[in-house]
Amino acid sequence: MKLYINGCSFTAGEAYKFRPFWPSFFEQEHEIVQNDSYPGCSNHRIIRRTIDFINMQDNPEELVYVVQLTNCERSEWYDEDKDIWIGSLRDLANFDDKWRDRPWASNAGHHNDAKPYEDLQKQYFSVAYKHQSLEKSMLSTMEQVILLQSVFKQNNIDKYVIIPMSETADPRNYTPNDSNATYYNEMLNTIDLTHFTDDVISKIAKGLEVSMENFHPNRAGHETIYRYILNVLKERTYD
């Protein structure tokens, strides 16, 4: 089985600590063509990079796609001067990992290169946070999922699963305000929910976290997630 994988730190690992992660277990018997997961990223980045990958493939329909949804409150913006997408991780600037390929990138690491953007990000967050809500963020995530599924359909890709990080990242578990209920339900009905896993990652790895303060899966948690996803793929005869 050839896989494409994308997600946040619940897939990439928390700052690449606590190896191995659930994709690592897939590597033992299957081929991961590309893993674009990245700590602290947004659903916008996850879906944008997944679509970028599809558009670069000659036969994208030959792969199996596992896409993990993250916190819907996260977003990203594009900086034309630096030619880079910058994720909004609350008041922190989180450069897309392609920043390493830019001519202005230093060898001092992400923190050093992102430092000039810290004040700008704090200003953006202080304004955006006042005008943002969980409902707006969830609706934005749903729009992104609809876009991704449209691209899947255009490219004849039917072997894929979408697995939310937690219930708060899952559009199926959100109750909208009465004023937005009709719009929300229409969007939810547009999404092909048959490609969503029954359980979310936080439920699958419940009790197998790094610590009481750190809810990322530990090694046993990542192995449990791997076995769950593998069973889903086998049940759908994607393997």
Identify the weakest region by mean pLDDT among 44-48, 79-83, 229-233: 79-83
Question: Tokens 């030959």 belong to which residue?
Answer: 62
More confident site: 79 or 190? 190
Given a contact cutoff of 8 angstroms between Cβ atoms, the answer to whether 50 and 162 are in contact is no
pLDDT digits (tens, 9 = 90+) for 104-154: 777 767 777 777 777 766 666 656 655 567 788 899 999 999 999 999 999
| Stated pTM of the model | 0.91
Backbone angles phi, psi at 191, to 5 degrees: -75, 135
Answer whether residue 59 shows pLDDT above 90: yes
Given a contact cutoff of 8 angstroms between Cβ atoms, the answer to whether 194 and 159 are in contact is no
**Chosen CATH of 2-73+135-235 out of 3.30.2310.20, 2.60.120.10, 3.40.50.1110, 3.40.50.620:** 3.40.50.1110
Answer whether residue 51 shows pLDDT above 90: yes
Confidence label for 31 from pLDDT (cuts 50, 70 and 90): very high
Computed over every residue of the chain, the mean pLDDT equals 88
Structural domain spans, the chain: 2-73+135-235, 75-131
pLDDT digits (tens, 9 = 90+) for 160-187: 999 999 999 999 998 888 888 898 999 9
Dist. CA 46–CA 144, nearest whole Å: 10
How confident is the model at residue 123, as a pLDDT? 65
